[in-house]
Amino acid sequence: MAYSSHCFFFVSVALLLQFLIAPASALPLQSTQYIDDLCKMPSIDDKTFCLQTLTGYQGAMYAGSSITLAQIVISGLLVPHVQKTMRFALLTSAKEPPSIKTQFMTSREYLRTVGYSLAKAFDQLAVSPRSSTQDVMSCTDQITKVLNLIGKNQDVASKTLIEMTMRMKKLLPLGVAAAQAVAG
């Protein structure tokens, strides 16, 4: 009796999941076309990373236009990563010796500038996509400053901050390409 009720439960769950989970063929074709187009932009060096990142991010999969996809890339992928990296730099700096603390606080300021640039880019997408593209591109300079400042350090916290910053450096081309796609 217990065996049959367990089987019934698992079969019921399996059937229910088939209805709740949309198959890949049910995903909006237009959204995947926007992603494909974005990942084919000349500013994207790692097309595989672009496709994996955007198709793995549910918000991007349901973008209804290139501007919506650009907004999702900036506000859903780039900004949260910058915020996370800034929080790490701030919280970790309190535990570090003075020389590293200063470097982490300076890095946080560079990252804050990245955050401001991304916010400006987001606001400008619909009005001036070319300005938006420039704002995202300017983040590369700030990221390079962080890498140059912290890159020589060998402590665990610095290595973690470098990894987070390198991830941001890898995500930035997605934001550039997204803004460029809106600009046409």
Give all domains of the chain, ordered by start, each with its CATH number.
Answer: 29-183 (1.20.140.40)
Separation between Cα atoms, residue 65 and residue 53, nearest integer Å: 18
Question: Which of 52, 64, 71, 73 has its CA nearest to residue 27?
Answer: 64
- Which residue type sits at 84? K
pLDDT tens track for 32-65: 889 999 999 999 999 999 999 999 988 888 888 8
pLDDT averaged per 10 residues, the chain (length 184):
44 39 46 88 94 91 90 95 95 89 95 96 93 95 96 92 96 95 87
Q: What is the mean pLDDT of the chain?
A: 85
List the structure tokens of 118.
Answer: 């991304």
Which pTM was predicted? 0.80
